[in-house]
Homo-oligomer: A and B are copies of this chain.
Amino acid sequence: MAGTYNICLDIGGTKVLGAIFDSKNKITYRLKKKTKADGDDSQNIEKVIISVVEEMINESGLKRDQIHAISAGAPGVVNSETGIVLFSPNLPWRNYDIRTPIEKKFGVPFYIGNDVNVGVLGEYKYGAGRGYKNIVGLFVGTGMGGGLILNGKLFTGNEFKAAEYGHMILDPEGPLCGCGQRGCLEAFSSKKGMTAYIRQQVGRGRKSMMEDQLVNEVFKSKSLKKALEAEDAVAMEAVDRACHYLAVGTGNLINTISPDLVVYGGGVIEAVGQIFLDKILAEVDRYCMPSIRSTVDLKIAELGDDSNLYGALAMIEGDKKKAK
């Protein structure tokens, strides 16, 4: 008899999150494990993934034949058809076939997609996007990721590279982005962009509660939340600037796609999403055509950190439907 449990993974640069879903799509078991993505040790991540799946099966008391499929979101350009990760900014995978070893090891189908694409799919199927058809998803984290649902399906463009909204240029003379361009949405509105702003202001001699966060590449979302609650001026400016450019970027995407929903997700939104949404809503009407604006909703993600896990589940579910 075929298994009815699905194992879903959110593969990140520093950790792997795992969840087991039962046949009613409820999470029955969770696991979180740190990865060490040193240098080019691609096999190491593969080993971590395998050990996470094994541990989840063992600890949850499931038998191998109760597993129906394994599915994952991972950062980078992921060919969902072949299971090959073409490139990842945070993982040492280049043209790396992750499907074959996982399927060989566990004897069940393995699905994989870009993490934010998958997260937006999760929101579409199980979260804030239920009932919508054309969805633009913007995920604000260390960087800025995107996802696009068109006519109820994930749209990945040519070679699975669509929805890089984070690198939309909003000011050609703006601050340098990690991608080498200037004035990308990510350079203003991601944790990286906001951290750079705070670093600059602290460097000018201004005081901020977030100074202690500057030893790392980016601040922790919780620390931003605290600083906003305390009305820390520098943190508030960083957020105002981030939301201004998010409003411009959102306006451009509304004009381009005419979606029925724009959904904001990711770690920053999970922590201070309502503040971001209110600021974006206060500005966005200026940056898109009123007739197009009138038929689009703006919402924050409902599934929080679980968007990717639910999206991974949605990939399995979508494939079951196709097979019928």
A161 touches B256 (CB 8 A): no
8 Å CB contacts to B: which residues of A78-98?
86-87
Select which of B148, B172, B244, B296 is within 8 A of A248 by beta carbon.
Answer: B172
Q: In whole angstroms, what is the CA distance A146 to B257 when docked?
A: 11
Q: In whole angstroms, what is the CA distance A295 to B87 when docked?
A: 15
Most buried by B among A158, A170, A292: A158
Select which of B87, B255, B288 is within 8 A of A291 by beta carbon.
Answer: B87
Select which of B87, B157, B160, B248 is within 8 A of A259 by beta carbon.
Answer: B157
8 Å CB contacts to B: which residues of A254-276?
255-260
- Given A171-B171, A292-B164, also A158-B253 (CB < 8 A): no
CB-CB under 8 A from A106, the residues of chain B are none
- Given A158-B134, A158-B260, A289-B179, also A255-B168 (CB < 8 A): yes
**Residue A112 at the chain B interface, CB threshold 8 Å:** no
8 Å CB contacts to B: which residues of A151-197?
151, 155-165, 167-172, 179, 181
B259 touches A292 (CB 8 A): no
**Residue A150 at the chain B interface, CB threshold 8 Å:** yes
**Residue A126 at the chain B interface, CB threshold 8 Å:** no
CB-CB under 8 A from A179, the residues of chain B are 289
A167 touches B77 (CB 8 A): no
**Residue A34 at the chain B interface, CB threshold 8 Å:** no
Q: In whole angstroms, what is the CA distance A169 to B183 when docked?
A: 13
**B-contact 0/1 string along A37-70, CB 8 Å cutoff:** 0000000000000000000000000000000000
Select which of B77, B167, B286, B292 is within 8 A of A181 by beta carbon.
Answer: B286
- Given A156-B258, A248-B172, also A161-B288 (CB < 8 A): no
- Tell me how many chains of this kind the complex includes: 2
Q: In whole angstroms, what is the CA distance A162 to B168 when docked?
A: 18
CB-CB under 8 A from A170, the residues of chain B are 169-170, 172
8 Å CB contacts to B: which residues of A134-151?
134, 146, 148, 150-151
CB-CB under 8 A from A169, the residues of chain B are 170, 248, 251-252, 287
A157 touches B77 (CB 8 A): no
8 Å CB contacts to B: which residues of A111-151?
133-134, 146, 148, 150-151
Q: In whole angstroms, what is the CA distance A151 to B256 when docked?
A: 17
Q: In whole angstroms, what is the CA distance A137 to B256 when docked?
A: 11
Select which of B150, B160, B287, B291 is within 8 A of A155 by beta carbon.
Answer: B150
Q: Shortest beta-carbon distance, A262 to chain B, in Å?
A: 11
**B-contact 0/1 string along A270-312, CB 8 Å cutoff:** 0000000000000000111101100110000000000000000
Q: In whole angstroms, what is the CA distance A38 to B257 when docked?
A: 32
Q: Shortest beta-carbon distance, A78 to chain B, in Å?
A: 12
B258 touches A168 (CB 8 A): no
Report, nearest first, the 3 A-B pairs whose CB atoms are least far apart.
Answer: A157-B258, A162-B258, A161-B258
| Other 9 A-B pairs with CB < 8 A, given A162-B256, A167-B289, A256-B256 | A151-B155, A158-B292, A164-B258, A164-B292, A168-B255, A168-B256, A169-B170, A181-B286, A253-B256
